[in-house]
Amino acid sequence: MKVVGFFLLIFLSVYFEPVNAQEPKREVRAGNRAYKEGHFQKSEIDYRRALAKDTTSFIAKYNLANALYKLNRSEESVNTLLPSVDSLVSLEVKTDAFHNLGNYLLSQKKYRESVEAYKNSLRINPGDMETKANLAYAQKMLKEEQNKQDQNKDQNKDQNKNKDQDKDQNKDQNQDQNKDQNQDKDKNQAQQPQITPQAAQQMLQAIQNKEKETQEKVKKEKAKVLEAKRKEKNW
């Protein structure tokens, strides 16, 4: 499986011959025929049948991973192939496996992981130009992703800074407003006349005297009225 340049030109290959007699030849070959004809679901079934007979068959795992990738199930491709790669003895197969893992990861936009997979492939076969091209593309996408993340961080930082500034400004305004209100309250209290206890007692006594004087005046008026009535009856 190859990805060339920036156009994601993909070439997938499968192993057509098992490497030893213990491989489930019939199922693998049936899967390869279906794969070659573009029947990827059929090839998946055949490869899984091969693995049911021999769970250690790397050829079946490798080809199944490619079939899953063709079915847009790249995450399953990684899970199928990755656990067996480090145990491979054949360097040729190992470099191809790492290359394909890089492609699977790249399709998931896992750029950092795909870069590592391509590097692992190139450590075994440094002259593979297709892997180098794929690595360059993955590194380019990783850099763009990191730049975008940095921009988002800067934007969020600016937004948080503006929020803090608005918060501080509102806090200052509220403090100034409360200060003005307290000053007005103190001013009003200062303008109100202060009455001493002695003055208040004098005012109360004056009110009581006035009330007593009024009551006595009312009594005198009533007495005059009664006196007039008596005189009217004595004729």
pTM over 0.85: no
pLDDT score, position 95:
94
Tokens (6 digits) for 168: 């501080």
pLDDT of 40 over the 70 cut = yes
Q: How far apart are CA 212 and CA 23, in angstroms?
A: 128
18 pLDDT higher than 60 = no
Q: Is residue 96 predicted with pLDDT exceeding 90?
A: yes
Helix axes 91-107, 58-70, angle to 10 degrees: 30
Select the highest-mean-pLDDT range: 141-150, 169-178, 217-226.
Answer: 141-150
Rounded CA-CA distance 92/102 in Å is 16
Q: How do the domains of the chain map onto residue ranges?
A: 23-145
Cα–chain center distance at 8: 30
Q: Which of 5-14, 116-125, 187-196 has the lowest mean pLDDT?
A: 5-14
How much is the pLDDT for 187? 65
**What is the structure's pLDDT at 43?**
96
Task: Select the highest-mean-pLDDT range: 7-21, 92-106, 173-187.
Answer: 92-106
CATH 3.40.50.300 fits 23-145, yes or no: no
| pLDDT for the residue numbered 22 | 52
pLDDT at residue 20 tops 90: no
More confident residue, 4 or 118: 118
* Complete DSSP assignment for 28-47: HHHHHHHHHTT-HHHHHHHH
**CA-CA-CA-CA torsion sign (187, 188, 191, 196):** negative
Structure tokens at 73: 């199930």
Check if the beta carbon of residue 58 is closer than 8 Å to that of residue 18.
no
Q: What is the mean pLDDT of residues 83-103?
A: 92
Token pair recorded at residue 201: 């007692």
Provide the pLDDT for residue 11: 44
Q: Using an 8 Å Cβ cutoff, are 77 and 104 in contact?
A: yes
- 15 contacts 59 by C-beta, under 8 angstroms: yes
Q: Taking a C-beta distance cutoff of 8 angstroms, is the pair 28, 59 a contact?
A: yes
Q: Torsion over CA of 210, 211, 212 and 218, rounded to 10 degrees? A: 110
Q: Which residues pair with 11 in a beta bridge?
A: 2
Residue reference for tokens 């590592």: 116
pLDDT 10s digits, 110-123: 999 999 999 999 99
User: Residue 5 region, left (φ>0) first, then alpha (ψ -120 to 50), else beta?
Assistant: left
DSSP H helices, the chain, are: 25-36, 40-53, 58-70, 74-85, 91-107, 111-124, 129-191, 197-233
